[in-house]
Structure 1
Amino acid sequence: MKYSPLIACQAQRRKSATGSSWRMGETSIQVKGKWTYFYRAVDKFGKTLDFMLSEHRDEAAASAFFARTIKTNGWPEKVVIDKSGANLAGLQNINWLLLLLYGWFWLIEILQVKYLNNTIEQDHRFIKKLTRPMKGFKSFQSASATLDGIEVAHMIRKRQFSTSGQSAFQQFAALAA
């Protein structure tokens, strides 16, 4: 639990390049009997871009997630989201910041198409499969660390790191070193 966030940070730095069309969604995780929200983004090929656990599902959390994802992965051309108003408001907030602060007229295209978001929804099942038997977490830090570890394991499984013939254990050991 202690080293999982550090390994996730290394994984973010070492992952291979991703596409410019993103799918973004969130899933709910129970922590101390309350629902928290695990934000995730993948590209159109299913490669994990970023993930973040938040106590709230609102514009501020969505904006923070998008800002963090853009910082580590660059600017997307378009983002596909579900019908969540918080995600839409967060993306519109990022677009307004682009326009007002930088005078950037190349805005992020926002799509709310249900079937295009199936990639991210199918990716959520691996997290649900592992967290559902736990029936929730005792603390926010343990939930965040556990989810970081699960995501890094899935990034290794999806072969997101540019490694030549290394086993999954060798890839994990390289991240931990």
Structure 2
Amino acid sequence: MDDFKGRHFTGEVILWAVRWYCRYGISYRDLEEMLAERGIDVDHTTIYRWVQRYAPEMEKRLRWFWRRGFDPSWRLDETYVKVRGKWTYLYRAVDKRGDTIDFFLSSTRSAKAAKRFLGKALRGLKGWEKPTKLNTDKAPSYGVAIAELKREGKLALETEHR
């Protein structure tokens, strides 16, 4: 992220402010005060613009680093939530610590939707990162989806569905 061209402040100052805001949940005005104590006179609205511009890019570049240890056991569940006034199904995969591995919104609760969700969650994982146990609420759609993914080779045949 060396692209700070046209910015009044150095990239280091911008990254400090964005990191502190995202990590510690400090208000923009408090960040303005903290930077002023360090001799950097910046307005809180400028910090807001930095966060809007650079936080998504930082998250994207650091996501691989933030990943916690590998957990071979996933918990899968779906729930019905309202999104923009419309009811949809939220599929979630979480590890034993409760950290979200992936999620998927679908208008239907079907084997096709479950397969798309699991396929999305498995995409980009190396073989050793894929789960060995999938804990579900035994909804029939998960059984069908898991069987299809095993047949296609996207999920190991030894993967246990609990």
For this structure pair, what is the TM-score category when the shorter chain's length is used for normalisation? 0.5 to 0.7
> Match for residue 68 of structure 1?
120
Q: CA deviation at 1:31?
A: 3.8
Please, which of 84, 88, 94 is the counterpart of residue 139 of structure 2? 84
> Match for residue 159 of structure 2?
108
Q: CA deviation at 1:94?
A: 0.8
- The 5-angstrom pairing of residues 100-139 of structure 1 reads 106-111=157-162
The Cα RMSD (Å) is 3.0
For 1:5 and 1:83, the matched residues in 2 are separated by: 36
**Percent of aligned positions with the same letter in both sequences?**
31
Count matched residues.
Answer: 106
Q: CA deviation at 1:89?
A: 1.3
| 1:22 to 2:74 alignment | yes
Map Cα deviations across residues 38-71 of structure 1 (whole Å, 9 max, x no partner). 1111112322211111111111111111111112
Q: CA deviation at 1:13?
A: 3.7
Map Cα deviations across residues 89-145 of structure 1 (whole Å, 9 max, x no partner). 1111111212xxx8x87431100xxxxxxxxxxxxxxxxxxxxxxxxxxxxxxxxxx
**Distance of aligned partners of 1:78 and 1:105 in 2 relative to their CA distance in 1, 3 Å threshold:** closer
For 1:29 and 1:71, the matched residues in 2 are separated by: 25
Greater CA radius of gyration, 1 or 2?
Answer: 2
For 1:82 and 1:39, the matched residues in 2 are separated by: 12
Q: Which has the higher helix share?
A: 1
TM-score normalised over the length of structure 1: 0.49
1:85 maps to amino acid: P
**Distance of aligned partners of 1:71 and 1:109 in 2 relative to their CA distance in 1, 3 Å threshold:** same
TM-score normalised over the length of structure 2: 0.53
Most deviating of 43-52 and 3-12: 3-12
For 1:18 and 1:49, the matched residues in 2 are separated by: 11
The higher relative CO (CA closer than 8 Å, separation ≥ 6) is in: 1
